[in-house]
Amino acid sequence: MPPFEGYRKDEISFMNEKIKMQVPLVEMDGDEMTRIIWQLIKDELLLPYIELNTEYYDLGLRHRDETDDQITVEAAMAAKKYGVAVKCATITPNAQRVGEYGLKQMWKSPNGTIRAILDGTVFRAPILVDSIKPSVRTWKKPITIARHAYGDIYRNVEYRAEGPGTAELVFRGQDGKERRETVFEFKGPGVIMGMHNIDASIVSFARACFNYALDVKQDLWFATKDTISKIYDHTFKDIFQEVYDNEYREKFTEAGLEYFYTLIDDAVARIIRSEGGMVWACKNYDGDVMSDMVATAFGSLAMMTSVLVSPEGIYEYEAAHGTVTRHYYRHLKGEETSTNSMATLFAWTGALRKRGELDGNTALTDFADTLEAASIKTIEEGVMTKDLSQLSELSEKKIVNTADFLKEVRVRLDSMLSGK
Ligand code: NAP
Ligand code: MG
C-alpha cells in the first residue's frame, strides 16, 4: 500500500514536512569514490527527509590545494564552534598524488591536522549484521577500539648504531640539570630508539575514553605492558586510575559500568573469549594493530565506523576506510562499482544523532536510528554490495551497485517511516 493512501492532502503535507535542525552540522566533503557516495547519501536518504542545516567545507584535494589547506583548519575550527562534524574520506597526498593533481605541495593528512586542532581520541567500532558472523565465534556485541593518537613510536627518534659504543638517554632540565642513563653498551652494530609521551595528552586520552564509555553505556578496558615498562607504561596506568578515581568513579557506578585495567597480553586473551560490548582503550601502537585485528575479525573495513572525540566533547564522525581509489578509477572509466556505503552512511547517522541529542531534537535522533535500522535490514534481507556478499551467510543474495544499494535502503526507510 502506498504510504499516504487514505489520508487527506493537508495531512500528507504535514507528514511530509521535513525534519528541522536548529544548529548546523559541520560537513566536510572529501575525495574520490567516497565523495560520490557522499552526494548519493545526501540526495537519496537525507535531503528528502531533513532540512539539512550544514556548514559545508570542501576538503576535496583540489580545494585544499586552492586554499593552501586553510579550508581544513577552518573546518576544524567550525567543529570546535558547533560541536559536531561529519567527514568524508580524504586523500592524504603522497608524491604520486602531487603529480596526479598538480599540487602546490604535499599537504599534510587532513585527519592529522584536524586531530591536532581538536586534540582527540579516535574510537572505532564495527557495524554488526546478523548474517555476517565474526571470525571469533563468541563475539556478539561490537568491540570499540579507542586509540591514543599522540606520541610513542609515531613521534620517535631512531637510528642505527653502526659499531661498538655506548647509547645514553639524557634529559636536560630547563635549570640545566642533566639526568643520564646508559641504554646499552654496544659491542657491535644494532639499533636505538627514543620516544616520549606527555601527561597532558594521556589525561585527555583517559577523559575521552571515560566520556565515550559513559556515552555508549559500555565498560571501559585499558591495557598496557606496565610490568615490563615500569615507568613509561605505568604512567599511563596511573593517570587512568587517577582520572577515574577523581572524575568518573561515581558516574560509572551510577551507570552500572566498570573500568578495568589489565596487562595487554591478558586483555588480548580475555577479548577473544568475551562476548564483546566493551570499549578497549589502547596506546597508540597497540590501537593501530588491534583495530585492524578487530575490524578484520568482525568482517570488513567497509563496516567500521570511526569517531574522533575531543576532551571538551567535540565529535567528528567518519568512515574508517579511505577514498576507495581502485573503485573510483573504475567509476571514471564508466564501469559499474559496488562500493559499500555503510560506514559513510553511519558517519552521517552518528553525527545527526549526536546533533539531535545535543539540541533535544528527538525527530532527528529517531530519524538517524530508523535510517541505520533500514540499512541493516537491507543487508539482512540479502541486498548488499560485493564486498559483503563474500562474507554473508545468507543463501539468497542480491549483489547491487553503489547507487542501487542506497535506493534499496530508501525503500525500506520509507516503509519504516510510514509504519510509525
Ligand atoms: P581504502 O580506500 O580504504 O581502500 C582499500 C581497499 O579496501 C579498497 O581497494 C577495497 O578493496 C577495500 N574497501 C575499502 N573500503 C571499501 C568500501 N567502502 N567498499 C568496498 N570495498 C572497500 O584504502 P587505500 O586504497 O589504501 O587508500 C585510498 C586513499 O584513501 C588514499 O589516498 C589514502 O590517503 C586515503 N585514506 C583516507 C582515510 C581517511 O580519510 N580517513 C583513511 C585511509 C586512507 P578492493 O579494491 O579489493 O575491492
Ligand atoms: Mg593500521
How many residues can be counted in the chain? Answer: 420
- Least Cα distance to 110 among 94, 86, 92 occurs for 92
Write down the pLDDT at residue 420. Answer: 57
Q: How far is CA 68 from CA 71, 92, 403, in A?
A: 8, 14, 33
Identify which of 323, 326, 342 to mutate to test ligand 1's pocket (most ligand atoms within 8 A of the CB).
323
- In whole angstroms, what is the distance from residue 166 CA to residue 196 CA? 21
The architecture in CATH of the region 1-122+301-420 reads 3-Layer(aba) Sandwich (3.40)
316 Cβ inside 6 Å of ligand 1: no
Backbone angles phi and psi of 31, in degrees to 5: -125, 160
Each residue's pLDDT, cut to its tens digit, for the chain (420 residues) gives 455 566 555 555 445 689 999 999 999 999 999 999 999 999 999 999 999 999 999 999 999 999 999 999 999 999 999 999 999 999 999 999 999 999 999 999 999 899 888 877 899 999 999 999 899 999 999 999 999 988 898 889 999 999 999 999 999 999 999 999 999 999 999 999 999 999 999 999 999 999 999 989 999 999 999 999 999 999 999 999 999 999 999 999 999 999 999 999 999 999 999 999 999 999 999 998 898 899 889 888 899 999 998 888 899 999 999 999 999 999 999 999 999 999 999 999 999 999 999 999 999 999 999 999 999 999 999 999 999 998 999 999 999 999 999 999 999 999 999 885
Write down the pLDDT at residue 49. Answer: 97
Q: Please provide the DSSP assignment of 159-215 as one string.
A: EEE-SSEEEEEEEE-TTS-EEEEEEEEESS-EEEEE----HHHHHHHHHHHHHHHHH
Identify which of 33, 296, 301 to mutate to test ligand 1's pocket (most ligand atoms within 8 A of the CB).
301
3-state secondary structure of 302: helix
Write down the pLDDT at residue 6. Answer: 61
Q: What is the pTM of this model?
A: 0.88
Q: Domain spans of the chain?
A: 1-122+301-420, 133-153+196-298, 157-194
387 Cβ inside 6 Å of ligand 1: yes
Q: Given CA atoms 260, 148, 278, 367 in this order, what sign does their dihedral have? A: positive
- Least Cα distance to 347 among 111, 135, 119 occurs for 111
Strand 157-161 to 178-186 pairing = unpaired
Strand 165-172 to 178-186 pairing = antiparallel
Quick one: which atom of ligand 1 is closest to the CA of 88? 40
Write down the pLDDT at residue 1. Answer: 45
92 Cβ inside 6 Å of ligand 1: yes
Quick one: which atom of ligand 1 is closest to the CA of 90? 40
365 Cβ inside 6 Å of ligand 1: no
| Closest ligand relative to 285 C-alpha | 2
Query: Taking the CB of residue 112, how many other CB atoms lie within 10 A of it?
Result: 12
Q: Are 91 and 61 in contact (CB under 8 A)?
A: yes
| Spatial CB neighbours of 322, under 8 Å, sequence gap ≥ 6 | 34, 89, 91
Fold matches, 1-122+301-420 and 133-153+196-298: yes
The superfamily (CATH) of domain 133-153+196-298 is Isopropylmalate Dehydrogenase (3.40.718.10)
